[in-house]
Amino acid sequence: MTLNINRKSDVKEKPMAGATVIEARDLCKSYSNESVQQHVIKNLNLKIRQGDFTVIMGNSGSGKSTLLYSLSGMDKPTLGQVLFEDQDISRMSNDKLAIFRRDNCGFVFQQNYLNDTMSALDNVMVCGLLKNKNKKALAEKAKGLLTKVGIGENDWRKFPSQLSGGQQQRVAVVRSVINEPTILFADEPTGALNSQNSANVLDILTDLNEAGQSIVMVTHSSRAASRGNRVLYLADGIVTSEIDIGKYDPKAVDTEEGKARYARLKAFLQEMGW
Ligand SMILES: Nc1ncnc2c1ncn2[C@@H]1O[C@H](COP(=O)(O)OP(=O)(O)OP(=O)(O)O)[C@@H](O)[C@H]1O
Ligand SMILES: [Mg+2]
């Protein structure tokens, strides 16, 4: 299966592979609860590159989701900057941020957050219509993508409650990429799925990345992390270390090379105390 997204000429040019898309500079995020202030992200500096499948790992409470929300403009940092293609999104008004997210970001979460009152197809369409006004062309595109992730014609008109959990998450992934985001942010996208459904969703993310989609994914699973090429380890609000394991090759998983690559990741995580 190749999830080649048809890049349209009217869509703004994506940055070159390897170019910095997001840069966090001295990023700090604190939460104040009653009299206590908790510093969750601490002077973090980070560059996210175009074309990478970047993975963020770390213990529960280490700040992974908080970091993802700051990098994607879902939340504003307390101090520091988040530059998205040189635009400082940490200073944007909420209205501008909403447009920025619509135009640049896709999101997948542990829960699929599909609208229960709409069909699978309409869940995707509603998101697509925020940007693409040609309903007919959009429907073709949505149906094509749904088909590619294994949601066939018989399921397009089903409501989320009539689909399996794995199917629902695949619809959510299609919804996240319908507007061809510069970056796809995924926060534990397989966290609520069984191993077969997890593998299906990870295969889709792998295909998207192969087709050029930049991805930033938070996960607790080393198997999921092995789909990335760059794995960051977050501890107590700081990136303590990272490893470049090269791109995942589905055909090489069971070869000596593929096993050695996974062993390197496991050894890295063990060193981090994971
Ligand atoms: N809105 C909030 N208000 C107050 N504290 C928060 C808020 N969001 C997160 N925190 C705190 O920030 C810390 C980091 O939370 P975060 O959700 O980023 O962790 P995480 O690494 O994603 O954990 P998990 O793996 O369990 O999802 C936690 O101690 C959490 O309680
Ligand atoms: Mg989290």
Q: Report domain extents, the chain.
A: 20-271
Q: Looking at residues 233-259, what average pLDDT do you find? A: 97
In CATH, what class is 20-271?
alpha beta
Q: Looking at residues 219-238, what average pLDDT do you find? A: 97
The whole-model pTM stands at 0.94
pLDDT at 4: 57
List Cα–Cα distances, 274 to 12, 41, 220, 267, in angstroms.
Answer: 40, 19, 9, 10
Which of 99, 62, 65 shows the shortest CA–CA distance to 84? 99
Q: Which long-range contacts (CB under 8 A, 24 or more apart) does 72-76 make?
A: 72/101, 72/105, 72/107, 72/183, 72/185, 72/216, 73/97, 73/100, 73/101, 73/105, 74/101, 74/107, 75/29
Ligand lying nearest the CA atom of residue 39: 1
Q: Atom 2 in ligand 1: which residue has the minimum CA distance?
A: 31
Q: How far apart are CA 175 and CA 127, in angstroms?
A: 7
Q: Which residues contact 215 (CB under 8 A, 6 or more apart)?
A: 52, 53, 54, 183, 184, 185, 186, 205, 208, 209, 228
Q: How far apart are CA 107 and CA 68, in angstroms?
A: 10
Ligand lying nearest the CA atom of residue 109: 2
Q: How far apart are CA 139 and CA 154, in angstroms?
A: 15
Residue 1: pLDDT above 90? Answer: no
| Bridge partner list, 38 | 31
Q: In this structure, which amino acid lies at residue 119?
A: S
Q: Looking at residues 80-109, what average pLDDT do you find? A: 95
pLDDT at 17: 86
More confident residue, 157 or 12: 157
Considering the chain, what percentage of its residues have pLDDT values greater than 70?
A: 96
Neighbour tally for 211: CB within 10 Å: 13
Confidence of residue 12 (pLDDT cuts 50, 70, 90): low
Residue 5: pLDDT above 60? Answer: no
Taken in order 241, 246, 247, 251, is the CA torsion positive or negative? negative
- Tell me the CA–centroid distance for residue 147 and ligand 2, in Å: 30
Neighbours of ion ligand 2 (CB under 5 A): 65
Pocket test for ligand 1, best of 28, 64, 188, 233 (most atoms within 8 A of CB): 64
pLDDT at 10: 46
- Tell me the CA–centroid distance for residue 69 and ligand 1, in Å: 11
pLDDT at 9: 42
Q: Looking at residues 136-159, what average pLDDT do you find? A: 97
- Tell me the CA–centroid distance for residue 246 and ligand 2, in Å: 25
pLDDT at 132: 85
pLDDT at 8: 45
Pocket test for ligand 1, best of 27, 33, 37, 38 (most atoms within 8 A of CB): 38
Considering the chain, what percentage of its residues have pLDDT values greater than 90?
A: 90
Ligand 1, CB within 6 Å, residue ranges: 31, 33, 38, 40, 58, 60-66
